[in-house]
Amino acid sequence: MRRSVLLALIVGLAGVAPSLHGQDRKAEIQKRLASEFTRTKMTGDKSDIVTAGSVLVLHKDNLLMCSTEAVAPPTNTYKDGRISMGFGSNMSWGMALGAASQQAANIPQRKFVSGEKFWVTEYLVKDDGVVFQFYSDPFDNIRYYTQLKFPFQKGSVPAADDLMKTIADVLTVDASQQDAPAQDGAAPQSQAAPAEPAAVPKTIALGQTTAEVLQILGQPTKIVNLGAKQMFFYPDMKVIFTDGKVTDVQ
C-alpha cells in the first residue's frame, strides 16, 4: 500500500516538474523582453501616441499590417526564417473582423519590409509563444498595426537566451535609442568623470517622421491633431507634420 502511494506521488511530481520549469522559463522571457523593449502607449482610438517607447527596426520582409480602423490586427508568424500569414491566421482574422461587420478586403493593408521602423506597444508570453504588437507612423494619413508571433515548439518553452536571439534576427531596437546613457549616469568611482562635451544643437529636418522627432527632441509639451496635420509644441519651437512627416518647423 505504502509503495503504491509513494509511486503515485513520484509520478505526480514528475508530471509537475516540466510545468514548473516551463513557468520559470516564461517568467525569465518576460523579464528579458521588459529589459529590452519599452512599450509605447497609444490613445484609446489608436490614432496617436501618448507615451513614446521603443522604435523597432524590422530585418525580415513580408510583415502584414492593417489600418487601425480594423477592430483586430492580423497575426503574422515567424517560423523557419520567414514571416508569413498562414491559412489559420487568415481565417481567425477574418472571423474577428466579421464579428464587427468588417471585411479584410475593405481594410487598408500594407506589407512592411526589412529596414522599416515602427513602435512596439505590447509583448505577451503565452503558453505557445511570444506575441508582439506594433503600430506604425501614418502613411498617407493611415496608421497601421499588427501582431507578430514567435511560436514555441509544441510542449516546450525555449531558454530565454535562445528566444531573444531568434527575436533579434527579426527585430532590434533602433540604434539611436541604444546610445542613451544609463539611468544612474554615474562615473565609476575608480575613474575621474570626463569633462562633459559641449551640447550639440538638436536639429529637425523636413521629411523626418514623428518617431525620429521624438527620438531627437523627446516628448512635446503639447500635441495638437488636425486630421492629416499634427503639431508638436516644445518650449522653443513648434514642429508641424503632414501625414506623419515634418513639413514645417517654427
Task: For 52-167, list the strands marked E by DSSP.
Answer: 55-58, 63-67, 75-79, 82-84, 109-112, 117-126, 129-135, 144-151
Residue 161 shares a structural domain with residue 217 = no
In a domain, residue 50? The reply is yes
204-214 tens-digit pLDDT: 888 888 888 88
User: What is residue 225's predicted lDDT score, i.e. its pLDDT?
Assistant: 77
Handedness of CA 88, 134, 145, 209 (dihedral sign): negative
C-alpha cell at 142: 493611415
Residue 27 shares a structural domain with residue 98 = yes
Residue 224 shares a structural domain with residue 162 = no
Residue 168 shares a structural domain with residue 218 = no
In a domain, residue 142? The reply is yes
In a domain, residue 71? The reply is yes
Residue 125 shares a structural domain with residue 236 = no
Number of domains in the chain: 2
Residue 130 shares a structural domain with residue 85 = yes
Q: In which residue are the cell numbers 504588437 written?
A: 133
In a domain, residue 106? The reply is yes
In a domain, residue 183? The reply is no
Residue 120 shares a structural domain with residue 33 = yes
pTM here? 0.67
Final residue in a domain of this structure, among 159, 175, 191: 175
In a domain, residue 193? The reply is no
User: What is residue 19's predicted lDDT score, i.e. its pLDDT?
Assistant: 57
Residue 145 shares a structural domain with residue 219 = no
Final residue in a domain of this structure, among 175, 190, 222: 175
Handedness of CA 52, 54, 60, 66 (dihedral sign): negative
Spans of the chain, pLDDT less than 70:
1-22, 177-201
β 75-79/144-151 pair status: parallel
Domain that holds residue 220: 210-249
In a domain, residue 197? The reply is no
Residue 89 shares a structural domain with residue 136 = yes
In a domain, residue 17? The reply is no
Residue 245 shares a structural domain with residue 164 = no
User: What is residue 220's predicted lDDT score, i.e. its pLDDT?
Assistant: 85
Eight-class DSSP state of 221: S
Residue 229 shares a structural domain with residue 118 = no
